[in-house]
A and B are shown apart, each in its own frame.
Chain A
């Protein structure tokens, strides 16, 4: 089953904008943990916002779990597709953690008892049950983002989209979020689309795609993508630092194979040094 499918989708932000999406064709399988890479302005966020009807395509069709997205079923689809955005300070709607997590569930009209259960589940899933009655403004960035994820989880979505949700966090906060999402994918079977600029995050995914000018230009395993360094550069993406080091060592006459993690590269270097 395809969790999300774009068929020949076209979109633009109006005449004056330089951005054009003309033929987006791409699908995500149910249960996948997919990384979406691309430079700023390549269309990653547009792709995310089209998936739950925050933006309406100018042409083509978007299907969510086999159902074509229309104006009529928009609210049904949104229950299935949760989006977590970048800024931890602009997503909370309440001042207390449990009220914020309950907001979406209340909005779709769930029974009070059911909402209580959903809050328990969602806060436990993101490891924030101790903070149930905490004031959101006093939490760290990583904790705020976990509350945002819990708010989405309370609706029991089948697909979650994280649109650079770790970009504003420090390394510790980033790890917290990625661990939570990875676990949700493995244990709850939630399909995840992770939009990110960080190679370490993309490497945790089962598949990765690269966007450029509103289209998918590369699809591969994350390792496969990062090894195609020259191609990444043509899409305005930098070669990961570790790839850069491999390349420069080779240019200096040291025969090291491409590596994406520290230990593999260390092994490669050891083979070549006296």
Chain B
């Protein structure tokens, strides 16, 4: 499923003194199969944008009344989110959403029940026990947990990283085609962060077709994403592959955004007269630097 947004705007607390334009004429396309990154500092509209993707935030009804001609487009696959007739339940089954700190949403007595909840909720009719077990087992295993060891455990007795995996399993159990995650690695220790990112890669290869991830961690963005959208004050400033985006280190810094370590090193080397042209992944950076190795070393 392809995500297409054109001229998308969103105002919170409209017609009140606290009105905030969270999205301002955003146009953006995410192709099927992408590992799409969204960056921007707090309040730039990232979360507001992704919450539109499965209809958690709806387009204001005035759009549809045709008061004035409106050119807003928002489609996810065959779902037209500007239409009143959208089947949001069907949409949400196919667009999985993992919020920030998803482990705060764990609620059931056992890991099995927690993961099964979403599956039962979206099933057309009550699933057979065997079918439910297969789905839950697959979801728990794909996130890298030992099904036999955790299924009867309370999710609250698990470690932070494990809880987050269970929460992700509870979303992917319906096999969504698009998985949207808001800061999936925040608050984890460095090793936990990398494990979550490699899990997302695995999911995109074997489970969900498209992954959309909101993140502050530029190193992870540079390592993983096919393209990145930069949000600032509700607008989309750039949509570029990391290799192009992080060439603009100075502009990004001006926007108050960080850049990956590799981009900082490229800039520091450039100031010293050494030009390294890499795609900002660690692997490529190292390869390009080693290729410049002089006779002396």
Contact = CB atoms under 8 A, between A and B. Distances in A.
Interface string B189-208: 11111100000000000000
B57 interface: no
Given A168-B186, A272-B297, 5 more contacts: A172-B41, A262-B268, A269-B289, A272-B294, A273-B289
Contacts of B101: 168
Contact of A168 (B187, B262, B269): B187
Interface string A84-98: 001000000000000
A138 B13 CA distance: 13
Specify which of A38, A170, A236, A240 lies most central, judged by the most chain B CB atoms within 10 Å of its CB: A170
B157 interface: yes
A263 B268 contact: yes
B293 interface: yes
A245 B280 CA distance: 12
Nearest to B218: A171
A40 B292 contact: no
A254 B264 contact: no
B190 to A, nearest CB: 4
A273 B282 contact: no
Interface of B: 18, 41-43, 101, 157, 159-161, 186-194, 216, 219, 256-258, 261-262, 264-265, 268-269, 271-274, 282, 285-286, 289-290, 292-297
A163 B192 CA distance: 18
Contact of B187 (A16, A164, A271): A164
Contact of A253 (B189, B265, B293): B293
B187 A274 contact: no
Contacts of A138: 18
A218 interface: no
Given A41-B160, A168-B186, A272-B296, A262 B264 contact: yes
Closest 7 pairs (CB-CB, A-B): A274-B294, A266-B268, A238-B190, A273-B292, A40-B160, A272-B297, A252-B290
B42 A173 contact: yes
B194 A238 contact: yes
Nearest to B262: A245
A254 B297 contact: yes
Specify which of B191, B219, B256 lies most central, judged by the most chain A CB atoms within 10 Å of its CB: B191
Interface in A154-179: 164, 167-173
A39 interface: yes
Interface of A: 16-17, 38-41, 86, 138, 140-142, 164, 167-173, 197, 236-238, 240-242, 244-245, 248-249, 252-255, 262-263, 265-267, 269-274
B265 A266 contact: yes
A16 B290 CA distance: 51
A64 B71 CA distance: 65
Contacts of B293: 252-254, 272-274
Contacts of A241: 219, 261, 282
A132 B172 CA distance: 44
A237 B190 contact: yes
Contact of B216 (A86, A170, A253): A170
A40 B186 contact: no
A158 B60 CA distance: 52
Contacts of B268: 262-263, 265-266
28 contacts: A39-B192, A40-B188, A40-B192, A86-B187, A140-B42, A140-B43, A142-B42, A197-B188, A238-B191, A241-B261, A244-B282, A245-B265, A245-B285, A249-B289, A252-B286, A253-B290, A253-B293, A262-B265, A263-B268, A266-B265, A266-B271, A266-B274, A269-B274, A269-B289, A270-B272, A273-B274, A273-B293, A274-B294
